[in-house]
Structures are given as C-alpha cells and as structure tokens.
Amino acid sequence: MAPLLDSIRSAQDLRRMSPAELESLAAEIREYLIQTLSRTGGHLGPNLGVVELSLALHIVFNTPEDKITMDVSHQAYIHKLLTGRRENFATIRQAGGLNGFMLRTESEHDAYGAGHAGTAISAALGMAVARDLKGEHNHVIAVAGDAAFTNGISYEALNNIAEQTKRLIVVLNDNEWSIDRNVGAIAGYFHRIVTNERYKHLHDSAARLIERFGGKAVMHVARKAEEAAKGILWPSMFFEEFGLKYYGPIDGHNLPLLIETFKFLKTENKPVLLHILTQKGKGFQPALDGQKKFHGLGPYDPETGETKPAGQVTYSEVFANTLVDLANEDDKIVAITAAMPNGTGLDLFRPHHPKRYFDVGIAEEHAVIFAAGMATQGFKPVCAIYSTFLQRAFDCIVHDVCLQKLPVVFCMDRAGLSGDDGPTHHGLFDIGYLRDIPDIVLMAPKDEDELADMMLTAFQIPGPSAIRYPRGVVTGVARKPRPALLPIGKAEVLQPGPAQGADIAIFGLGPMIPMAQELAALLHQDGFSAAVINPRFIKPLDLEVIAAYARRSAAIVTFEDHARSGGFGSAMLEALSQLGLNTPVVYIGWPDQFIEHGKVDQLRAKYGLTARAALTQLLPYLVEVRRQNRVAI
C-alpha cells in the first residue's frame, strides 16, 4: 500500500480521509520530514510542531482562495507538501529547488512571502481589508508563534484589526520558543494562562464536549463558560481589549478538535484569536531535547539526531569569546541580542556575565534604542544582530544612536550571502544602509584575528561603530595573544606591488581577500603586476592609500560580499571623484537584484563573484597596459 502522503495531490484528498487515516498521515509526515531534512537540513523543529495545525487549516479552508499567512514562514513545510510540491520537496533549500520559506513566485498557495518575524498579522489584515473592499467573502488566517508577539509590528497590527475588518482569524501558536526560549512579560503572560489549573480544567471539558458532539451550539456553550471563568480570573483579557474574541488555549496536536474549532471560527463575524499549544520538535526526541539546535540545522543522522562534527570555529564564536575577554577587563561592556543568543554566539557570553547580557526578544528596534539609552549612562553596549535583521532598526540607528553620537557597537553577523536561507536572510545591504550615516565608523575584518582587533578598536571610538562579518567558519590564521588597536580609517597593504606602481590595484573587503589574492596570482601568471590591499574600513576610507594606487595603476578592482549598488565599490568611485582622479574601477559584488538561495560557491560562480570573472572584466585595461609597453609581450 502506497504511503498516504503520496496520495495527497490537493486538500480535497485530505477531506476524504477518515480520522484514523488523518492521524496516520500526521505520523507519516513527521517521519518524512525527519528523513528528508536529515539530508538537506532545514527548520525541522518548527515544522514538527505544526503538523496537525497545517492539516486542519487545509481541511477546513480552501487555498488559494482563502489566504494563510505564517509569521517568518519557516514552518510552512507541511503547507508546501499539501499544496502540490511533494515531488520537489527533497530539493528544499537546495540551489534551484524549493525555498525554505513561503514564496509568492513559487506557488499560488503562498499568499505572502516572509522570512522575518512580526509580519503575518499585518499582512493578513491588509488582505482582509482588501477582500472587504472588493466585496468578496474568502477567509484570511494569520498563524503567528508566541515569539512573534515579542515583536512590535504584531501589536501595531492588533491595534488596527477590530476597527478595520469584521472577519479575520489569528492563530497564536504557543510553543514557548523562537530559536531560543522566549523571554519577557508577554512570554510570562502566556505561561500563566496555560498553567492556570481552573482555566485548564475548563478547556479540557470544552474540548471533550466538542470532540463528542461538535458544532456551533457546543462551542457557544463553551464560550459562555470561558467568559465567566475569565471574568473571575482576568478582569480584562489582553486580546479582548484589542477587540478580538479569544478562544483557547487548546491542544494544537488534537486534530479533530482543531478541525471542529476552525469550522466554528469560520462562522464568526468578528475578528478572533485562537490560542493553541504545540510542542516544537514533536515526534523526534533529539529535537525535543535540543530545541535550539533543531530550530534550523544542516544534515543530521535521522536516528540519533547527531550532526556531522564541524570541528571548526565560527566567526560568531570568535566574536563571543573576544567579547567575554574584553568584558572581563571592562565592566561597562554589555551585550544585547534580539532573540538570537545562539545564532550570534552570545549564549557563550551569557554564563560569564549574566547581569550584562540582555535578550530583548524579536525586537530589533527596541534593542537599538535600549542600547542608546545605556550608552547615555556611560555603558558600552554591543548590539549583536544579523545584518538582515538590523535592517528593521534603520531609523533607530540613525535617529537614536548616530544623531546623538552614542558609542554603540553594532556587530553584524551573517553579513554577505547567507546561502541556503535565501534572499530574506542574505546580508547584502548593510554597507548601503550604514555608510551614508554621518559619524559612524564601519569595518570589515579579513579574518578572525582582525575581528578581535576591530572589537577592541570599536570600544575606543567615542561614537557609533559597526563591524560586518560573515556566516561560517574562520580562516584558521594564528591569533595574537591579545587584540591590537587599529588606526581609524587606515588600510593594510598586503602585497604592495613594484615600487613604480602596480598595473592593477586590488581591494578585497573582509573575507574577499583570498579572492583578491587569487586574482593577483592570475595577473602575475600573465606577466602583470598587482597590489593587494585590505581596506579594513569602509568608512572612513583610507584616501591616502586609494590616491597612491589610483595614480599608479591602470585600474582598480574591488571585491565585496555585498550588493554593488551603494556598496564598497560605489564608495571607491565616490572617493576617486572626491580626489579628482578618473582611474577605472572594476567592482565585483552582487548584482542589483534579490539573490536566490543556494550554496555560496555556486551562487558566486553564477553571478560572477570570482577572480576569473574579474580578470575577464579587466581585459580592456590590460590590453592598454601592454599597448603602453608596461608589460613585455
């Protein structure tokens, strides 16, 4: 007999299944996810937790007519399996394959593309209001995890729902986790609801009634009982103050209960919020034991959950360990993360300085302004936030930090391409959105040793500074016993070239230095001279070094793991114009488009971020060098 999952071509197939078959299908989906993602990697834990929820949504609602948004949408794997993408699912997060998040261009069933938290409710409200204006009657459902309710955008949306539409379903998927365990008052509030014995007894009774009898009448009785209980327990329920009818909490793994509840909620003529309780990683013990690890990971053993041993140090770890050492010597240093202690490495800092570690939840704007407030009081805050997520706090960086010249250090992990996570997570725009801000110092280390130097240097700068460094393992260079201060705005000449001047001057930004050195070697093979410069500073630029090489070279090459528009190459062109020089610049970076997911080396080859691609672009200038007899033929 063929597996049940193979028989699913659309939601109609789900609706023909018996309750027992649906339970078997849920177990089959979990096993399929465990086996498939063991080869590709991906967001295993979040998807194991929403199997029943995804099935219930597709049984009760009809996509693409009905619209489902998911906050972040890394938990949309089951949704993809149920909407015609089963045959391609093994390609998820692979080059040319399915995206790891909802993607509007991938399927008409993906109503809204996402990859950052806090967007699901606002987008769903926009869809609901558009539906109302068009006089249509489809349903709109927003699925948001409890972690999304630490994000301010969610509350901006909640504040507008009741005034702007009469029909919207918000599902609060409560599993107590984002990537790390959720923090703050909202997490505590949800926990108090869930653990209150009187409320739990009431909902267990209501659930039994619905399972036994079903239908609107029983739900109405349960609703009246809930209102009475809430009047005793909470004089003013949080969500009801926003104008949403609150239902729950109910068991998010009880498929019959979820189906009956959604059928009832379809009949409501008022915005509603359904609070469900799920278990992240359900059905796979290693994922239950290692919630952070199995939120998103690479290939693993499907039996034991063990990942392939890395055996290599990452930039995140070097950042965190250096910060520990610096904080040991300076009690004014504090570390701030926005729900990413594991991803940024700050979980290594926390045990050493727990009182100087702050996780503010998924609230990047608050993190930056919070840091600004601490800086006004003489502290030295470090905001460790991925490049892609720091985009959300741009105004706060400008208005609250830089305008006031406050000494906040932004450490931007995942700067550059983020590989399998795709365009929502690539850090390709931070130079563009930071270098135009007055008074900020912007740095990019070529290796882990220089990262430590830049961190020490940042704490000596009287105003704001930022350091961008890549995802992944370090270069493996020998580390100095202690970091060294760097002169602000001074580049490092790694290969000076001949005394009379190099034919080509190559500036490799940060981790692109090896590519710059590879190009220099290719030029040498062809009889040309080349200089290799490590800029270190994107702002301020070393105008002295730039001028010296621009005057003595036929062309300048810049390599950067960033969008070409507004990036380091653009800054080089501006500097040459400022200096009154017209030396040609070949600037190698990512094109003016959103880059898909895939392995970094594959994408670099596809888009021309290679030494040989740069050599091809240099050919006209090399011909001119030879024409002037600067190189013997």
* CATH number of the domain within which 552 lies: 3.40.50.920
User: By the 8 A CB rule, do 250 and 276 touch?
Assistant: yes
Looking at residue 413, its pLDDT comes to: 97
Q: Is residue 295 part of a domain?
A: no
Strands (E), 385-513: 409-412, 441-443, 465-468, 492-495, 504-508
**Residue with tokens 């140090």, as numbered in its chain:** 313
Read off the pLDDT band of 182 (50, 70, 90).
Answer: very low
Read off the pLDDT band of 297 (50, 70, 90).
Answer: confident
Same domain, 122 and 270: yes
Q: Which H or E run includes 277?
A: strand 272-277
Read off the pLDDT band of 290 (50, 70, 90).
Answer: confident
For residue 213, pLDDT over 50 is answered with no
For residue 6, pLDDT over 90 is answered with no
Same domain, 402 and 513: no
- If one counts every other C-beta atom within 10 angstroms of the C-beta of residue 30, the result is 21
**Average pLDDT over the chain, rounded to an integer:** 89
Same domain, 65 and 212: yes
How far apart, in Å, are the Cα atoms of 9 and each of 4, 83, 85, 177, 227? Answer: 11, 7, 9, 32, 41
Looking at residue 296, its pLDDT comes to: 67
Angle in degrees, CA 242, 243, 249, rounded to 5: 85
Average pLDDT on 204-228 reads 50
User: What 3-state DSSP class applies to 26?
Assistant: helix
Specify which residues 42 forms β-bridges with: 297
Q: Which two tokens stand for residue 53?
A: 């929820």
Q: Which residue has better confidence, 281 or 517?
A: 517
Looking at residue 36, its pLDDT comes to: 92
Looking at residue 240, its pLDDT comes to: 85
Same domain, 463 and 522: no
Lowest mean pLDDT across 8-12, 375-379, 561-565: 8-12
Q: Is residue 350 part of a domain?
A: yes
Q: Which H or E run includes 170?
A: strand 169-174
For residue 226, pLDDT over 60 is answered with no
How many independent structural domains does the chain possess? 3
Q: Which two tokens stand for residue 27?
A: 């177990």
* Phi/psi at 505 (5° precision): -105, 125
Q: Is residue 265 part of a domain?
A: yes
Q: Is residue 550 part of a domain?
A: yes
Q: Where are the alpha helices (DSSP H) in 377-492?
A: 387-390, 394-396, 430-434, 448-458
The set of residues, in sequence order, having a beta carbon less than 8 Å from that of 522 and lying 6+ positions away, is: 611, 612, 615
Record the pTM: 0.86
Q: CA-CA distance, 111 to 365, in Å (whole number)?
A: 27
Average pLDDT on 188-203 reads 51
Please tell me which residue in 263, 392, 536, 564 is annotated as part of the active site. 392
Same domain, 453 and 560: no
Q: Is residue 119 part of a domain?
A: yes
User: Looking at the chain, how many residues does it have?
Assistant: 633
Q: Give residue 343's domain range.
A: 315-468
For residue 309, pLDDT over 80 is answered with no
Longest dimension (CA), the chain: 93
Q: How many Cα atoms within 13 Å fall on the side-chain side of residue 307?
A: 15
User: By the 8 A CB rule, do 587 and 614 touch?
Assistant: no
Q: CA-CA distance, 370 to 381, in Å (whole number)?
A: 9
Q: Give the domain-ending residue among 272, 287, 302.
A: 287
* pLDDT tens for each residue of 481-502: 999 999 999 999 999 988 778 8
Q: Which residue has better confidence, 296 or 457?
A: 457
For residue 206, pLDDT over 60 is answered with no
Secondary structure (DSSP) of 539-579: ES--HHHHHHHHHH-SEEEEEEEEESTTSHHHHHHHHHHHH
Looking at residue 293, its pLDDT comes to: 65
Same domain, 398 and 518: no
**Residue with tokens 């501006």, as numbered in its chain:** 574
Share of the chain above pLDDT 70, in %: 88
Strand order in the sheet with 409-412: 357-359, 333-337, 380-384, 409-412, 465-468, 441-443, 537-539
For residue 236, pLDDT over 70 is answered with no
> Residue 49 has what DSSP assignment?
T
Read off the pLDDT band of 239 (50, 70, 90).
Answer: confident
Same domain, 443 and 505: no
Read off the pLDDT band of 280 (50, 70, 90).
Answer: confident
Catalytic: 364?
yes
For residue 249, pLDDT over 70 is answered with yes
Q: CA-CA distance, 28 to 26, in Å (whole number)?
A: 5
Same domain, 66 and 179: yes
Read off the pLDDT band of 209 (50, 70, 90).
Answer: very low
User: What 3-state DSSP class applies to 518?
Assistant: helix
Average pLDDT on 313-318 reads 95
Looking at residue 130, its pLDDT comes to: 97
Catalytic: 200?
no
**Residue with tokens 């199995």, as numbered in its chain:** 294
Average pLDDT on 77-83 reads 94
Average pLDDT on 525-548 reads 97
Q: Is residue 480 part of a domain?
A: no
User: What 3-state DSSP class applies to 468?
Assistant: strand
Catalytic: 266?
no
Q: Is residue 478 part of a domain?
A: no
Same domain, 234 and 331: no
Same domain, 427 and 498: no
Same domain, 457 and 498: no
Q: Is residue 633 part of a domain?
A: no
- If one counts every other C-beta atom within 10 angstroms of the C-beta of residue 24, the result is 15
Specify which residues 537 forms β-bridges with: 443
Same domain, 411 and 528: no
* CATH number of the domain within which 364 lies: 3.40.50.970
Please tell me which residue in 364, 365, 448, 518 is annotated as part of the active site. 364
* Greatest mean pLDDT among 152-156, 238-242, 475-479, 531-535: 531-535
* pLDDT tens for each residue of 341-375: 999 999 999 999 999 999 999 999 999 999 999 99
> Among 78, 49, 429, which residue's Cα sits nearest to residue 252?
49
